[in-house]
Each structure stands twice: as C-alpha cells, then as structure tokens.
Amino acid sequence: MLGENLQIGLAGLGTVGSGVYEALLRNRDILEARAQISYEVRRVAVRDKKRRRSVELAPGVLTEDWRELVEDDQIDIIIELIGGITEAYDLVRAALEKGKPVVTGNKALLAEHGNTLFRLSQEKGVPLYFEASCGGGIPIVRSLQNSLICNNVSAIVGIINGTSNYILTAMATEALPYHEALRQAQQLGYAESDPTLDINGWDAAYKGLILAMLAYGTPLRPETISVTGIEQVEPVDFTFARQLGYTIKLLVVIRHHQERKALELRVQPSFVPQQHLLSKVEGVFNAIAVRGDLVGETIFYGRGAGKNPTSSAVVSDVVLAMRECRLQGYHTGFQPYTQEVQVLPVEETVTPCYVRFRVKDCHGVIASIAAAFSRHDVGISATSSADGEHEGGKTEWNHLVFMLHACPWGQLQKALDEIRQLDTVVADPVVLRIETFQGT
Ligand code: HSE
C-alpha cells in the first residue's frame, strides 16, 4: 500500500526524463487532486551528475547509482527511463523484487523481457506500467487493456515510429534529403540517440510486438516479426507512389488469421492508398488502426514521440499507479490467457506489391521480367517507367516499376531471385507492400 505522501524515484533524466520531472511539477495540482494523493520526487538517478541540465534539482536528489533508488525504503514507486536493455532489466527486476511499482517507456526491454518481468510482477503482486512504450502520447496500451477488452481484434495496422514518419513525410512533401530530415528529427528529440532502430524498423517492431501481446494475450519473441526499415526508399519511389495514387509509410501490420490460428506480424515500408486516413498521418504523428469484431474500425492518432507527449503517457501511468496501488487491483500485462496463436511465416503473407527495378535501357527488358513473374504465377496489374537521373545527367539505366496483384511473399521472392539473375537488371529491386486495408 502506498503512503499518503508518495515518494518517487526517477531513473533517467534525458529528453523524456526531464519532461516527466517538469510535468510532475507543472501539473502537481491536478495530479494530486485526481490521484487523491500527494507526492515528491525524492531521488533522480543519472549517468553523470556533473552534466548541465535543463531542470534544476535540490542538492542531494541526484545520484549516479539507480540502486540507491531501489534500496531507499522511503521510495514507493520507480520510473525507469534510462533506456537500453541490460541495465534497465536489472533495475526493473530489482524494483519489482523490492515491491516497488515501476513505470517504464522502454519498448525494447518489454519486447525482449516483458514476459519474464510481468511474471515477476504477478508473483510479487507489484504492477508494471508501460503506456509510454507504444505510440508516445497516444493512449493505445490502456485502450487495448481496458476500453477494447471485449473485442476479438482482427487487425492492428499502424504508423508507430515518429522519426521514420518524419523522414518519409519530409522526403515526400519537401523533397528533403534523407540525412537532413533525420538531423531535424534528432534535433527535435524524436529520434533515439542512436537512430538505427528508428530507421531499420526495429523501434516499430518492438512496439508492434507489445501491441500484439496485449491484443492476443500470448507471448511473442522478437525473432518472429519480419522487419524491413526505410533505408531502401528513395525519392523516386515517392514520385511513382504519387502517380499511382499512394503514399509511402512504414507500417506495422498485425493481422489475425482466425482459420489458421496464426498472426501475421511484420514491419515494412508500404504503399498506402491516398484516400486512407493513415496516408494523412504526417511528421512525427503516429496513428494506429485497430479493428475489433464489436467496435469495428478505430483509429488512434497523436504525437508518437517527443518530450511532452511521451511524458504525458509516463505521468499518467504514475497517477494510475498511485490510484491502483491504493485500491490493490491492476492489469496483469502480458500474462498469457487462453488464446493460442502462432506467427504466420512471412512467406505466406499475401499483399499486392510495388517493385521498382533499375534496368538497362534495352529491348526485351520488360518482357523478360514479366515472363519471370508469369512463371511464378505473380500477376501484373500495371507498369510504369522513368529515366534514371543523377547529378551528371541521364544515366544508362531506367527505373521500371511493376504493380503486382496480391500473391504470397515467398512466391514473389522466388520470382525476384530469378529476375536478379538477368543481365538487364542492374541493382537489387525496391519492394514495397501495398496495403489495401481489407478486413482492417
Ligand atoms: N524514437 C521513437 C520514435 C520515439 O521516433 O517514434 C519513441 O519511441
């Protein structure tokens, strides 16, 4: 049971950590009124005490050792915002062992170790809150846990990485070079300090795993999700997409194939029809479409990254922790219940696709590629082409685009393996899924 003047230990004072600290001070009146409890931030753990910071702390509050927070009997609740996996795991584990509720926004930690941590949380009867782990300020975790709990969820399709969406939007609308867009996203505090996971799709994949575990109540391992990042997308792909009535988004797709008791689980840059709401999600905004058998289609939209939106999710968890710990009843996280599902091999997932080849400018090139598609039973719905351009002028190769009818991913890969062998094809093709949103 929490004390009347709740003592908080905050581990991590980076972009989100300082946002959380400021929000706890700025909104103290409403938070204390809504939780019916008063609070103090008693200790803050940081890597380097001497570093200059935007927030001012009373002497004695800072420590370089998070263990001091866990060992401090006065501290009731721990907020973990140090990031990374290994140390964060030790911290959360130690806090739960000590009986201290934990609030975290660490998606990689939960995707890798969520099942172990929630098992511990249940054994100890100590809650672990994680609204900030998915979609920044969008209340998607709590919605799946509570508001949509009575639904069979047939699909979740979302844009859940703000940095990559910021980059793709800047490439599409301002023709900004990739590196400039990334630099802006970093300056604005959207990208992780090492943006690799934002770009290569893994940040979205971790969040997707969390959503899938919540929606289907089943443990899932990161190795089971098929992940492609945005590195392969080039400005010319946006030109083709626009001409064909689409835009390009990095989508997480979680689809339940009920008849096979299997989950389709993937992250890929994808063509999204211009008339679909997800195509209008720009910049750092995220949106998650959830389809349930009772509720039908829902779309959650908001800022998916950044100091204040993420702090909103973290601090709301703190308030919930204050309330729920007083009532002694809380959600059991990822603990499995009865639903049994497996992950569908990516080769068996079926969508239409956009494929762009760089080809030599010579006779018969379209026919030889079309013949290979035909041998593998991959249907073509349209083709398009454009001259290859570079700074020095026209190149000796062209862009050749094929829009393909829906076919299994594995079948397409076999056709592409054959096409890669053609002398006329000069680079690895760019392959983007086309999401039709049927059944979503
Ligand atoms: N780097 C993440 C994003 C922020 O760009 O969405 C929070 O997960």
| Structure confidence by residue, pLDDT tens digits, 282-338 | 999 999 999 999 999 999 999 998 899 999 999 999 988 887 766 655 555 666 655
Answer yes or no: do 87 and 132 share one domain.
Answer: yes
The mean per-residue pLDDT over the stretch 146-173 comes to 95
Residue 336 belongs to a domain: no
Considering only 33-47, 61-75, 151-165, 251-265, which range has the smallest mean pLDDT?
Answer: 33-47
- Does 424 sit in the ligand 1 pocket, CB within 6 Å? no
Last residue of a domain, one of 236, 271, 303: 303
Q: Is residue 401 within 8 Å of 251, Cβ to Cβ? A: no
Cα–ligand 1 centroid distance for 310 (angstroms)? 9
Catalytic option among 100, 107, 207, 249: 207
Residues 27 and 85 in one domain: yes
Please report whether residue 397 resides in a domain: yes
Separation CA 242–CA 299 (nearest Å): 24
Task: Please report the pLDDT score of residue 1 as a whole number.
Answer: 45
Per-residue pLDDT tens over the stretch 198-212: 999 999 999 999 999
pLDDT beyond 80 at 344: yes
Whether residue 82 is predicted with pLDDT greater than 70 in this model: the reply is: yes
User: Do 156 and 258 fall within a single domain?
Assistant: yes
CA–CA dist 285, 165 (Å, integer): 7
Q: Tell me the one-letter amino acid at 244.
A: L
**pLDDT surpasses 70 at 176:** yes
- 178 alpha carbon to ligand 1 midpoint, in Å? 17
CA distance 19 to 306: 9
Distance CA 136, CA 138 (A): 6
Look up the CATH number of the domain holding residue 92.
3.40.50.720
Q: Which residue has the CA at smallest separation from atom 1 of ligand 1?
A: 191
Q: Is 190 in the pocket of ligand 1 (CB under 6 A)?
A: yes
Q: How far is the CA of 359 from the centre of ligand 1 (A)?
A: 36
Residues 286 and 169 in one domain: yes
**357 pLDDT higher than 70:** yes
Which residue would you say has higher pLDDT here, 225 or 340?
225
* pLDDT class of 189 with cuts at 50, 70, 90: confident
Lowest mean pLDDT among 178-187, 228-237, 256-265: 178-187
Asked whether residue 268 is domain-assigned, the answer is yes
Asked whether residue 236 is domain-assigned, the answer is yes
Residue 425 pairs in a beta bridge with: 359
Q: Which of these three, 303, 336, 371, is where a domain ends? A: 303
Q: Work out the pLDDT band at 53, boundaries 50, 70, 90.
A: confident
Ligand 1 within 6 A of 24 CB?
Answer: no
For the chain, what percent of residues have pLDDT higher than 70?
94
Co-location of 100 and 152 in the same domain:
no
Q: Which residue of 81, 187, 198, 230 sits with most ligand 1 atoms within 8 Å of its CB, as the best mutation to test the pocket?
A: 198
Residue 163 beta carbon below 6 angstroms from any ligand 1 atom: yes
Domain CATH for 387: 3.30.70.260
CATH value at residue 204: 3.30.360.10
One domain, residues 298 and 172: yes
Residue 184 inside a domain? The answer is: yes
Predicted local confidence at residue 191, as pLDDT: 79
In a domain, 332, yes or no: no
Which of 226-230, 323-327, 380-384 is least confident?
323-327
Give me the pLDDT at residue 323, please. Answer: 79
> Is 207 part of the annotated catalytic residue set?
yes
pLDDT for the residue numbered 54 = 85
Tens digit of each residue's pLDDT (9 = 90 or more) over 100-143? 999 999 999 999 999 999 999 999 999 999 999 999 999 999 99
Domain membership of residue 168 (yes or no) is yes
Q: Which atom of ligand 1 is nearest to the CA of 105?
A: 8
Task: Supply the DSSP string of 230-259, one letter for each residue.
Answer: STT--HHHHHHHHHHTEEEEEEEEEEEEGG
Domain count, the chain: 3
Instruction: Answer whether residue 358 is part of any domain.
Output: yes
Domain range for 364 is: 349-434
Is the same domain home to 173 and 244? yes
Average pLDDT over residues 264-289: 96
State if pTM tops 0.75: yes
Residues 124 and 208 in one domain: no
The pLDDT-based confidence of 194 (bands split at 50, 70, 90) is confident
* pLDDT computed for residue 391 by the predictor: 57
Which two three-digit tokens encode residue 212? 């899938």
Q: Flag whether pLDDT at 388 surpasses 80.
A: no
How far apart are the CA of 191 and the centre of ligand 1, in A?
6
Residue-level pLDDT at 417? 97
Question: Could you tell me which residues are beta bridge partners of residue 264?
Answer: 255
